[in-house]
């Protein structure tokens, strides 16, 4: 079915291109014999190949029949893209190389062909050739400059050449300000590399630069908070933790252990911190609710903590919430009564994903800053509330 669809679209594109090419040729005095031209013969030979289920021969014949002129360039580009999508990248490269060698292309057409040829090279791993073409486009005044920068930064990202990706990203952000989210992650990657080399000052510099680019980068805030704790700079922790609670409350569970250590050292009021996170709009993470219930259990007793959780579960039911409520019952009699359902809920909870990509739907038990499926940055978020039911 996919092969038939490909051939159908291919023949349609060729037919349109053939018609436009024939019309242009007639205008300039070429092809004066409508019933006996070589183009007509090639076209019908191609149709005969299709009827005989010889698609490769048909495609080659159609390409030979289709004259290259300004009105058929887009058709040739489409043919090359179809080849690439079909997996026949070598043929796509030949089509686009042949086009690029034509002297009668307009500047925008030449830029478009150059971009497609670079993408062909990327598809077969010929990165150096692709980079040269993309760098040329990225340094020009072409309308495709931003597209070239996007492809170029993707190449360096895939190769984990973060320094070069940052250099290109700084140029791309002028064209696409929203790229700042991704650029901040590149700085975080450099910070992680610096930490592996035990260069704390350089890591701090990269993380601070990341926050200048994207002041809402929760990854940079978490890494910087962990760095400052290891460096013994406890005074810097509360402000970083509070920024997470206010700007990204769904990530508070990721820093709960750090917040508790900070509270134990007297640098943070944990109860106030959790209340601040719970006061933000939207449904809070169940782990944040459970942490607050545990605090309440020590401050006001178990009954108050259970009532707090019951009220929250009415609005925000979840397996994790029910499991936490049962664990609050810590006396021996209650434990024996709920042991079986408690164990069952624990099994169910372990099987459920804790994170999901908002872009492609990828789900898993670990937090990824870059989605393993769609490669999007900052698209994987913790699940919360009814999403865990």
Q: Tokens 């029949």 appear where? A: 65
Task: Provide the pLDDT for residue 86.
Answer: 73
Strands, DSSP E only, in the chain? Answer: 355-357, 363-364, 380-382
Of 158 and 48, more confident: 158
Is residue 44 predicted with pLDDT exceeding 60? no
Q: Quick one: pLDDT band at residue 327, thresholds 50, 70, 90?
A: confident
Q: Which residues of 203-218 are buried (b: 16+ CB within 10 A; e: fewer)?
A: bbebbebbbebbeebb
User: How far apart (Å, rounded) are the C-alpha atoms in residues 347 and 184?
Assistant: 38
Is residue 374 predicted with pLDDT exceeding 90? yes
Percent of the chain with pLDDT over 90: 42
**Mean pLDDT, the chain, integer:** 80
Residue 381's beta-bridge partner residues? 356
Of 184 and 29, more confident: 184
88: left (phi over 0), alpha (psi -120 to 50) or beta: beta
Task: Provide the pLDDT for residue 39.
Answer: 46
Of 75 and 218, more confident: 218
- Summarised one tens digit per residue, pLDDT across range 288-309 is 999 999 999 888 888 888 888 8
Q: Is 345:389 a contact under the CB 8 Å cutoff?
A: no
Q: Residue 152's closest CA among 97, 83, 193, 139?
A: 139
Question: Across residues 53-77, what is the average pLDDT?
Answer: 60
Contacts with 50 (C-beta within 8 Å, 6 or more apart), sequence order:
7, 11, 58
Question: Across residues 43-55, what is the average pLDDT?
Answer: 52
Q: Quick one: pLDDT band at residue 335, thresholds 50, 70, 90?
A: low
All CATH 1.25.40.10 domain ranges in the chain, comma separated: 176-278
- Summarised one tens digit per residue, pLDDT across range 236-270 is 999 999 999 999 999 999 999 999 999 998 889 99
| 330 exposure class (CB count in 10 Å sphere: 0-12, 13-18, 19+) | exposed
Task: Provide the pLDDT for residue 89.
Answer: 79
Q: Is 218:380 a contact under the CB 8 Å cutoff?
A: no
Is residue 21 predicted with pLDDT exceeding 80? no
Is residue 9 predicted with pLDDT exceeding 60? no
Q: Quick one: pLDDT band at residue 22, thresholds 50, 70, 90?
A: low
Contacts with 358 (C-beta within 8 Å, 6 or more apart), sequence order:
379, 380, 381
- Summarised one tens digit per residue, pLDDT across range 86-118 is 777 787 888 778 778 777 778 888 888 888 889
| 148 exposure class (CB count in 10 Å sphere: 0-12, 13-18, 19+) | buried
Q: Which two tokens stand for residue 216?
A: 């809402």
Distances (CA, A) of 163 to 31, 70, 167, 168, 315: 56, 40, 6, 9, 47
87: left (phi over 0), alpha (psi -120 to 50) or beta: left
Neighbours of 383 (CB within 10 A): 18
Task: Provide the pLDDT for residue 314.
Answer: 82
Q: Quick one: pLDDT band at residue 15, thresholds 50, 70, 90?
A: low
Domain 176-278 has CATH 1.25.40.10: yes
Is residue 54 predicted with pLDDT exceeding 60? no
Q: Quick one: pLDDT band at residue 50, thresholds 50, 70, 90?
A: very low
Percent of the chain with pLDDT over 70: 74
Using DSSP's 3-state secondary structure scheme, residue 165 falls into helix
Task: Provide the pLDDT for residue 367.
Answer: 93
Task: Provide the pLDDT for residue 227.
Answer: 96
Of 57 and 364, more confident: 364
- Summarised one tens digit per residue, pLDDT across range 186-211 is 999 999 999 999 999 999 999 999 99
Q: How many residues does the chain have?
A: 389
User: How far apart (Å, rounded) are the C-alpha atoms in residues 48 and 10?
Assistant: 15
Question: Across residues 343-348, what is the average pLDDT?
Answer: 64
Of 320 and 164, more confident: 164
């Amino acid at each position: 079915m996919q092969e038939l669809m490909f051939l159908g679209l291919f023949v349609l594109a060729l037919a349109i291109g053939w018609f436009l090419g024939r019309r242009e040729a007639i205008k300039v005095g070429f092809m004066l014999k409508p019933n006996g031209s070589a183009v007509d013969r090639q076209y019908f030979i191609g149709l005969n190949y299709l009827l005989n289920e010889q698609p490769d021969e048909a495609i080659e014949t159609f390409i030979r029949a289709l004259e290259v002129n300004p009105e058929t360039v887009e058709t040739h580009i489409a043919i090359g893209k179809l080849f690439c999508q079909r997996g026949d990248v070598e043929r796509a490269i030949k089509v686009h190389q042949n086009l690029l060698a034509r002297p009668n292309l307009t500047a925008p057409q030449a830029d478009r062909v150059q971009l497609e040829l670079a993408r062909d090279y990327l598809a077969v791993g010929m990165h150096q050739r692709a980079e040269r073409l993309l760098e040329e486009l990225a340094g020009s005044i072409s309308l495709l400059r931003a597209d070239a920068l996007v492809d170029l930064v993707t190449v360096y990202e895939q190769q984990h050449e973060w320094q070069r990706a940052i250099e290109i990203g700084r140029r791309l952000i002028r064209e696409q300000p929203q790229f700042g989210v991704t650029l901040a992650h590149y700085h975080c990657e450099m910070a992680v590399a610096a930490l592996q080399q035990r260069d704390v000052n350089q890591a701090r510099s990269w993380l601070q630069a990341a926050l200048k680019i994207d002041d809402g980068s929760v990854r940079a805030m978490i890494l910087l908070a962990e760095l400052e704790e290891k460096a013994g700079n406890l005074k810097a922790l509360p402000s970083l933790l509070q920024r997470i609670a206010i700007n990204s409350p769904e990530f508070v569970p990721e820093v709960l252990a750090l917040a508790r250590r900070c509270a134990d050292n007297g640098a943070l009021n944990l109860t106030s911190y959790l209340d601040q996170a719970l006061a933000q709009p939207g449904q809070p993470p169940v782990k944040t609710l459970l942490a607050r219930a545990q605090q309440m259990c020590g401050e006001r007793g178990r009954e108050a903590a259970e009532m707090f959780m019951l009220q929250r579960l009415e609005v925000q039911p979840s397996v994790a919430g029910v499991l936490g409520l049962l664990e609050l019952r810590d006396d021996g009699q209650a434990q024996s009564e709920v042991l079986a359902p408690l164990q069952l809920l624990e099994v169910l909870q372990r099987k459920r994903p804790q994170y999901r990509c908002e872009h492609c739907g990828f789900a898993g038990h670990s937090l990824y800053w870059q989605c393993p499926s769609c490669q999007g940055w900052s698209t994987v978020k913790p699940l919360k509330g009814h999403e865990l039911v």
